[in-house]
């Protein structure tokens, strides 16, 4: 009996640790899988803050892993990919640019929605035109800045303005758009011009109102009835050079940890309606 007990004890000492390793591998999140080398991520400008934090988190979790970000307007990023720019991951601020990227063959078919966003009006801290509500964007002489119609933030902004015309008057959209004095290539440029007081108001994403700019602007909400919900899809590119790392990045963005970071930066989780 002593010999047999010792034999089983010896086997257990060898087999049990191995079993624990196997079980740990089975329950480890997908983003915890090995990732090394450089990963290049093209992402909508509105994702600058949360993706930068996600990048730092992943680099800390994986040795010899480096992430390079290119933040810009989704349309500009898609065009760069189509012209041969190298990237492993593309994250867009709307389905339109992702669908166009699919049609041109620069991203793979799978492109899950990972976050959502809404719009707000921001004005300089001194609020020279006394903008108190959304309808005030139509007042004569107001200098309004919008993202260009070719980028998601600009398309969403115009959609909200058009929708409000049903209640604010048939000419509301015409009066508001007549006040547009500048159109930007991405939403961060709108934020910058409002902060500097170069314009009287701008429409940006809720997530753009960060702690960094709160002392420089006032926020005016856009009524839910007119607001637009921005959907953010993410995909691995067809020419990805670091496919395994790309899969790790996408998995983290979709994970509970990644979603918590996005929510902390003013986005809605992809699980919200």
- Residue among 127, 116, 119 nearest 93 (CA): 116
Domain spans of the chain, in order of start: 33-116+231-269, 119-221
Output phi, psi for 26, to 5 deg. Answer: -70, -35
Question: Of the CATH numbers 3.40.630.10, 3.40.50.1400, 3.40.190.10, 3.40.50.300, which one belongs to the domain with range 119-221?
Answer: 3.40.190.10
pLDDT at 22: 45
Residue 12 has what pLDDT?
45
pLDDT tens for the chain, 273 residues: list them. 434 444 444 344 444 444 434 444 444 566 667 778 999 999 999 999 999 999 999 999 988 999 999 999 999 999 999 999 999 999 999 999 999 999 999 999 989 999 999 999 999 999 999 999 999 999 999 999 999 999 999 999 999 999 999 999 999 999 999 999 999 999 999 999 999 999 999 999 999 999 999 999 999 999 999 999 999 999 999 999 999 999 999 999 999 999 999 999 999 986 544
pLDDT of residue 141: 96
Global pTM value: 0.84
Residue 269's pLDDT is what? 86
Query: In three state form, how does the secondary structure of the chain look?
Result: CHHHHHHHHHHHHHHHHHHHHHHHHHHCCHHHCCCCEEEEEEEEHHHHHHHHHHHHHHHHHCCCEEEEEEEECHHHHHHHHHCCCCCCEEECCCHHHHHHHHHCCCECCCCCEEEEECEEEEEECCCCCCCCCHHHHHCCCCCEEEECCCCHHHHHHHHHHHHHHHHHCCCHHHHHHHCEEEEECCHHHHHHHHHCCCCCEEEEEHHHCCCCCCCCEEEEECCCCCCCCEEEEEEEECCCCCHHHHHHHHHHHHCHHHHHHHHHCCCEECCCC
33-116+231-269 and 119-221, same CATH topology: yes
pLDDT at residue 36, as a whole number: 82
Pairing of strands 65-72, 119-124: unpaired
- Dihedral sign (CA 233, 234, 238, 239): positive
**Torsion angle in degrees (nearest 10) through CA of 53, 56, 62, 64:** 150
Instruction: Report the pLDDT value the prediction gives residue 29, as an integer from 0 to 100.
Output: 66
CATH topology classification for 33-116+231-269: D-Maltodextrin-Binding Protein; domain 2 (3.40.190)
């Amino acid at each position: 009996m002593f010999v047999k007990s010792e034999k089983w004890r010896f086997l257990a000492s060898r087999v049990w640790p191995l079993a624990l390793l196997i079980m740990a591998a089975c329950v480890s999140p997908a983003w915890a899988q090995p990732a090394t080398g450089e990963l290049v991520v093209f992402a909508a400008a509105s994702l600058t803050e949360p993706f930068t934090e996600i990048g730092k988190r992943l680099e800390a979790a994986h040795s010899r892993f480096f992430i390079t970000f290119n933040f810009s307007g989704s349309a500009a990023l898609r065009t760069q990919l189509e012209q041969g720019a190298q990237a492993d991951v593309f994250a867009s601020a709307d389905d339109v640019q992702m669908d166009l990227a699919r049609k041109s063959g620069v991203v793979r078919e799978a492109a899950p929605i990972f976050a959502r966003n809404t719009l707000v009006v921001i004005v300089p801290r001194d609020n020279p035109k006394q903008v108190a509500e959304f309808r005030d964007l139509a007042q004569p002489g107001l200098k309004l800045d919008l993202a260009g119609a070719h980028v998601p933030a600009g398309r969403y902004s115009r959609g909200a303005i058009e929708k409000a015309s049903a209640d604010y008057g048939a000419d509301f959209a015409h009066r508001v758009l007549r006040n547009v004095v500048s159109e930007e290539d991405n939403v961060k440029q709108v934020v910058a011009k409002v902060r500097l007081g170069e314009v009287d108001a701008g429409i940006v994403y809720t997530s753009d109102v960060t702690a960094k700019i709160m002392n420089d602007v006032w926020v005016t909400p856009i009524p839910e009835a007119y607001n637009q919900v921005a959907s953010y899809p993410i995909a691995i590119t067809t020419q990805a050079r670091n496919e395994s790392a790309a899969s790790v990045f996408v998995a983290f963005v979709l994970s509970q940890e990644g979603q918590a970071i996005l929510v902390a930066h003013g986005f809605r989780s992809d699980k919200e309606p």
